[in-house]
Amino acid sequence: MRTFHVDTELAWRGGQQQVLLLLEGLVRRDVPARLAAPENSPLFDRARRAGLPAEPFAARNDADPAAAFRLARMLRSEPSDILHCHTARAYAVARLACRLLPAATRPRIVVSRRVAFSASPFLTRRKFGSADCVIAVSEAVKQGLVAAGLDPARIAVVRDGVTLAQTPLAPDERERVRRLLNLAPADRLVLHLAHLGAEKGQEDLIAAAPRIHAAAPGARIAIVGGGELRGRLERQAAAAGARILFVGFWPPERIPALLAAASVFVLPSRKEGLGSVLLEAMAAGLPIVASSTGGIPEIVRDGDTGLLIPPRDPLALAAAVIRLLTDSALADRLGAAGREFVRREGSADRMVDETLAVYRKLAS
């Protein structure tokens, strides 16, 4: 069985991390897998550096005829059994490309759906109705697709996965990161790592910051990531007198060291398909505070693998963070339980195996 993967995203986010983990896992299982992605994207670069077959591919919009012709040419040159589209734009162009192929050589089309919000039922059915299978990143995402009218028999739920570190960090790596962030030895880092967008709830974290600092003077809050809201968030923090460290983009290969430098991880999303970054933080043994929205409660179980709060509630967010900063026994218990959850249910190997099972069912 041969698989072909298309991703049109220029940035590096959780979805692109999952694509790379999937490709690596398929190759380890002797399943041919090649990637088409923008040549200037981090995913393309990291795939090439990992020795994975990757071809340059970009699409200007969902109805880019030139991109459809290029993709059809790729598929003709090396036919595939499965065409996995990892972004909505990739799927839109793939549908056009497959119309240019003889019916007997068209691959089965799989499309990933990672977000919890949807368009109107009509647009959702029109957009995804012709896919052979939609892989939803959580049960919450699946239910949204079913509510929009998609056939549940054509939706598979495959949650994200991450790798547990096989080797410990270098002894000085954690301290190097803390020095880079200008943290004092006694400072407790409250970490948020995400794209800076309205759905991620950074405004609520900034609103909660003064209460956190008042109750835990050693707390230092860092918002890591780039995005369209950075300027507005910085102005909000300045107006509120909130001491927030805006770090910007952080290299993916150094995320384990960043997580190791933290005491608490926070994701106060307003909408979230799953939140794969939560799995990374849990794998690092960090206690979690996250919103009870979308697919998050499927991995963060309140009082077990983390603390859940209502979305858009800075007071509840502040209280949960303060609780973890002042109750080390609770923080340690949640951190250990989260790491065990990832080992048991959140591994990249599990994600690859479940995705491969979808492919094999379609190809049979």
Could you please report the per-residue DSSP string of 176-232?
HHHHHTT--TT-EEEEEES--SGGGTHHHHHHHHHHHHHH-TTEEEEEE---TTHHH
CATH class of 3-161+347-363: alpha beta
pLDDT at 10: 95
Both structure tokens of 117: 């919000």
Q: Do the beta carbons of residue 54 and residue 31 sit within 8 Å?
A: no
pLDDT of residue 119: 65
Report the alpha-carbon distance of residue 41 to residue 25 in Å, rounded. 21
Contact criterion met (CB below 8 Å) for 53 and 34: yes
Cα distance between the two ends of the chain: 10
Contacts of 352 (CB under 8 A, 6+ apart): 21, 22, 25, 26, 29, 161
Query: Do 173-345 and 3-161+347-363 fall under one CATH topology?
Result: yes
205-224 burial by CB neighbour count: b if 16+ within 10 A, else e? bbbbbebbbeebeebbbbbb
Calculate the CA dihedral of residues 125, 275, 198, 252 and round it to 10 degrees. -120
> What pLDDT score does 168 carry?
74
Closest CA to 353 of 132, 134, 26: 26
Question: How far is it, in rounded angstroms, from Cα 338 to Cα 286?
Answer: 8
| pLDDT tens figures, 197-239 | 999 999 999 999 999 999 999 999 999 999 999 999 999 999 9
Query: Is the CB of residue 111 less than 8 Å from the CB of residue 131?
Result: yes
Count, residues in the chain:
364
Rounded CA separation 286/336 (Å): 8
Closest CA to 148 of 113, 178, 105, 191: 113
Beta bridge partners of 82: 3, 108
Instruction: For strands 288-291 and 264-267, give the pairing.
Output: parallel
DSSP 61-114: STT-HHHHHHHHHHHHHS--SEEEE-SHHHHHHHHHHHHTS-GGGPPEEEEEE-
Pick the CATH number of 173-345 from 3.40.50.2000, 3.10.129.10, 3.40.50.1980, 3.40.1160.10: 3.40.50.2000
| Partners of 83 in beta bridges | 4, 109
pLDDT per residue rounded down to tens, the chain (364 residues)? 999 999 999 999 999 999 999 999 999 999 999 999 999 999 999 999 999 999 999 999 999 999 999 999 999 999 999 999 999 999 999 999 999 999 999 999 999 999 987 667 777 777 788 899 999 999 999 999 999 999 999 999 999 999 987 667 887 999 999 999 999 999 999 999 999 999 999 999 999 999 999 999 999 999 999 999 999 999 999 999 999 999 999 998 899 999 999 999 999 999 999 999 999 999 999 999 999 999 999 999 999 999 999 999 999 999 999 999 999 999 999 999 999 999 999 999 999 999 999 999 999 9
Cα separation, 177 vs 18, whole angstroms: 25
Check: CB of residue 286 under 8 Å from CB of residue 262.
yes
Q: Would you tell me the crossing angle of helices 314-326 and 202-215 to the nearest 10 degrees?
A: 50
Average pLDDT for the chain: 95
What is the spatial distance between Cα 256 and Cα 58, in angstroms, rounded to a whole number? 30
Residue 167's pLDDT is: 65
pLDDT tens, residue by residue, 72-104: 999 999 999 999 999 999 999 999 999 999 999
Q: Quick one: pLDDT at residue 126?
A: 76
Angle of helix 121-128 relative to helix 88-99, nearest 10 degrees, comes to 50
**Tokens linked to 80:** 């595939």
Q: Is 190 exposed, middle or buried (0-12, 13-18, 19+ CB in 10 A)?
A: buried
Cα distances (angstroms) measured from residue 335 to each of 43, 44, 300: 30, 33, 11
Domain boundaries, given as residue ranges, for the chain = 3-161+347-363, 173-345
